[in-house]
């Protein structure tokens, strides 16, 4: 088992790894819309937050030797299910023709007041 860390995303605030690689798969911990350079948290529209969270997932995947087109499954936690169609539109734009399996979990609230959190499982090249 290999623990993944990259300075391209915020350092974990708790007792967990950004990702773990095991048996050819990378398990990416939930990512919020936090800018690692500025520390700004969850700013902007749901589209902006979703895109930024996916960029954080992508940076961790890259550090682990994977890519977005190798994602098998994502879990999306959304603080307001009425925003789902807007989150889905960002996924369609970023993932293109690649359609990983996905679970959407409506939640009452997320850490720091964020509207979306995304984790992923992907194949390591």
Q: What is the pLDDT of residue 86?
A: 98
Instruction: Dump the DSSP string for the chain.
Output: -EEE--TTSPPPSSSS-SEEEETTEEEEEEE-SB-TTT--BS-S-HHHHHHHHHHHHHHHHHHTT--GGGEEEEEEEES-GGGHHHHHHHHHHHHTT---EEEEEE-S--GGG-SEEEEEEEE--
* 62-73 tens-digit pLDDT: 999 999 999 999
Single pTM value for the model: 0.96
2-123 CATH, one of 1.10.10.10, 3.20.190.10, 3.30.1330.40, 3.40.50.300: 3.30.1330.40
Report the chain's mean pLDDT, rounded to a whole number.
Answer: 95
Residue 42 pLDDT greater than 90, yes or no: no
Residue pLDDT, tens place only, 71-118: 999 999 999 999 999 999 999 999 999 999 999 999 999 999 999 999
**13 has a pLDDT exceeding 90:** no
């Amino acid at each position: 088992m290999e623990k993944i860390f990259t300075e391209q995303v915020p350092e974990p605030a708790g007792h967990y790894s950004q990702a773990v690689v095991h048996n050819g798969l990378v398990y990416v911990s939930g990512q919020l819309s936090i800018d690692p350079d500025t520390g700004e948290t969850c700013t902007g529209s749901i589209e902006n937050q979703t895109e930024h969270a996916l960029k954080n997932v992508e940076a961790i995947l890259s550090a682990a030797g994977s890519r977005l087109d190798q994602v098998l499954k994502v879990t999306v936690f959304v603080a307001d299910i009425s925003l789902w169609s807007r989150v889905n539109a960002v996924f369609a734009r970023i993932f293109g023709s690649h359609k990983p399996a996905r679970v959407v979990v409506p939640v009452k609230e997320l850490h720091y007041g964020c509207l979306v959190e995304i984790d992923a499982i992907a194949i390591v090249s």
